[in-house]
Amino acid sequence: MGKFLLVILVFAAVTYLVTRALQERGPGERPSLPRPKAPKRPSPPPRSVAPDDDEEFLRDLDRKRLNPPDEGP
């Protein structure tokens, strides 16, 4: 049982020391793979004016509402 605990303690100590050594090195010092570039998104097409935003369309609606066309026989 004593040998087992000794092996566990040595393993924990080695793991701790390796982790500390890697952390002290810092991320900038180790070589890294270049990141792939993200594809560029195409720019959206220009927005068109919706009928409810078009002044001429709204004016025409008001005119039709105030002066409805005569219904035929």
Per-residue pLDDT tens for 16-32?
999 888 887 666 555 55
Scanning the chain, the segments in alpha helix (DSSP H) are 2-25, 55-66
The predicted structure's pLDDT at residue 24: 74
- Give the predicted TM-score (pTM) of the model: 0.35
Question: Which one is predicted more confidently, 40 or 30?
Answer: 40
Give the single-character DSSP code of 65. Answer: H
73 confidence band (pLDDT: 50, 70, 90): low
Confidence of residue 71 (pLDDT cuts 50, 70, 90): low
For the CA atoms of 17, 20, 24, 25, what is the dihedral angle to 10 degrees? 70
Q: CA-CA distance, 10 to 1, in Å (whole number)?
A: 14
